Chain A
């Protein structure tokens, strides 16, 4: 089976698969970031919380994804084939990856800059959102890029538990013992990963025009 014939056969499914893959990779990324920001801030603010938080989330990352997909239904009370399992698992990985990066990113802002902000009359909250977080954006963004690419590739694993998305191509290719669909899938995932990466990079550049040299 060549590359095109498989795509033609499944032309009706492609849009749906792509959409599922995209939101399965993107939504956990956003939710994971939203959870990692306060946790990372806590770890950077109260130094004693750093080791337990970073270790705990680090261990989370070592659990194989397949195990997580299978265990989660028991924990969440969802059906085994529910897409929510995948979304929750990927959110957990995103948090695991980002907590340390957010904490380190916030801590990397120089104390001179921070005390200058206080001395200008910033309140603690104004200083966090107006100075510390914006300066940490390139660091946090770099972590987000890793998480995004990792999420995209993990979505493909979810096809084993039957969630219909682009990862189906790998299953079909393997079932039919033909390379065509597998190559199609590979190209699709690489393109998707590149798009995610590019969008996040664009976001970082827009938010941090000052760090242009550092990112190049």
Chain B
């Protein structure tokens, strides 16, 4: 657990970076600090490992007052990942990862062996260990940065915009793997970002800071989207939040419709009878959906061949049975046939839903939530009465 106890940072010019921050980052969870530039989020992060000293207030790591621990000792016990990785250009990848264990006194050979295992853990081949950081792509460097922070197995990790310097595709990959890794490791993580979407995707808890270093709201991502505390948070959380909030609502049991499927490699002539409204769903031998085939668009000549992947429309997204309402709605909206494809846990085709079916489900959920909100407001009024 990381606990900020009315922490203030005033710079020498008199400007306030962080203003009386009270915040608790619970053990084993990801707490995201998010806000516009100048909101003091990075300063707050850097006060935890004393890269910046607070002007007043205390920061606790469990029951340890960080001000009472020697900075170098404190930092060796806290993993730290920064933007652009900040790897040491003069050390090989494996030596970069072994940095903290070596500082802690582990023999270099043991530290290197352990570092190679860690590279695999963050999804890099061991062969990269002998390279220098300059020989790696931005995404690879960032993975090395994460491995280096994990090397001494610290219970607490600080991450300062670790994924913001890579392109969107790599960023999404790194985020997914980060969540998978955190699922295995359960570190106490304080994560800084200016990107609200990243905050909502990664955070168990999101703390929104406003300019001047004041805390605007601390909540779960779903709560933040559905009940922003004030106009600032609402504006910062941004557009589409009604839609994005569906990303936290389990779809539950959807009314799946049966859909005849075509297996890739089948004769094309066999597809028209299996098409509904001119579209046939094509799956592979394992019944995993590959794409939609527009049967009406096929010429006489083509109908003599087999179904090949080149003919398929790949526009539709897939939703899993145990997924969210957002995934299900998106699958329906993006499907060229208008029928969203739902797959089971193994990625095999389970059935289809239409957008209106998902919307019915959304409406029903919303009305339950509205009713609950009215009841809890009423309960508050009663509690306030003398």
Q: Which residue numbers of A lie inside 8 Å of B, CB to CB?
A: 112-113, 115-123, 126, 131, 134-135, 137, 208, 210-211, 213
Contact = CB atoms under 8 A, between A and B. Distances in A.
B310 to A, nearest CB: 42
Shortest 8 CB-CB distances between A and B: which pairs? A116-B86, A121-B76, A121-B75, A119-B80, A210-B132, A112-B86, A121-B72, A210-B90
Given A113-B89, A120-B103, A135-B88, 12 more contacts: A115-B86, A118-B51, A119-B49, A119-B80, A120-B148, A121-B76, A121-B100, A122-B103, A134-B90, A137-B90, A210-B92, A211-B90
Which of A131, A134, A210 has most chain B Cβ within 10 Å?
A210
B134 interface: yes
Contacts of B75: 118-121
Contacts of B352: none
B82 interface: yes
Interface of B: 49, 51, 72-77, 80, 82-84, 86-92, 99-100, 103, 132, 134, 148, 158
Contacts of B83: 112
A212 to B, nearest CB: 9
A146 B209 CA distance: 53
Contacts of A121: 72-77, 100, 103
Contacts of A116: 80, 82, 86-88
Contacts of A117: 88
Contacts of A131: 88, 90
A84 to B, nearest CB: 38
Nearest to A126: B103
Contacts of B100: 120-121
Given A112-B84, A116-B82, A123 B72 contact: yes
B76 to A, nearest CB: 3
A135 B89 contact: yes
Contact of B90 (A112, A122, A135): A135
A137 B87 CA distance: 17
A109 to B, nearest CB: 9
Contacts of B132: 210
Contacts of A134: 90
DSSP majority for the A interface? helix
Contacts of B158: 119
Contacts of A122: 72, 103
A55 to B, nearest CB: 29
Contact of B82 (A119, A210, A213): A119
B18 to A, nearest CB: 18
B277 to A, nearest CB: 56
From B87, B89, B92, B103, name the one whose CB has the most chain A CB atoms within 10 angstroms.
B89
Contacts of B99: 120
A112 B76 contact: no
Q: Report which residue of A112, A118, A121, A208 has the largest number of chain B beta carbons within 10 angstroms of its beta carbon.
A: A121
21 contacts: A112-B82, A112-B83, A112-B86, A113-B88, A115-B82, A116-B82, A116-B88, A119-B80, A119-B158, A120-B75, A120-B99, A121-B73, A121-B74, A121-B76, A121-B77, A122-B103, A131-B88, A135-B89, A135-B90, A210-B134, A211-B90
Nearest to B86: A116
A120 B148 CA distance: 9
Contacts of A126: 103
Contacts of B72: 121-123
Given A112-B82, A112-B84, A210-B134, A119 B90 contact: no
A120 B74 CA distance: 9
A84 B317 CA distance: 82
B75 to A, nearest CB: 4
Contacts of B103: 120-122, 126
A125 to B, nearest CB: 10
Contacts of B91: 210
Nearest to A136: B90
Nearest to B104: A121
A208 B80 CA distance: 26
Contacts of B134: 210, 213
Nearest to B74: A121
A105 B74 CA distance: 30
Nearest to A118: B51
A169 to B, nearest CB: 43
Nearest to B103: A121
B330 to A, nearest CB: 38
A117 to B, nearest CB: 7
Nearest to B77: A121
Contacts of A211: 90
A213 B92 CA distance: 15
A32 B75 CA distance: 37
B116 to A, nearest CB: 19
Nearest to B73: A121
Contacts of A120: 75-76, 80, 99-100, 103, 148
A130 to B, nearest CB: 9
A6 B95 CA distance: 57
A208 B88 CA distance: 12
A120 B80 CA distance: 7
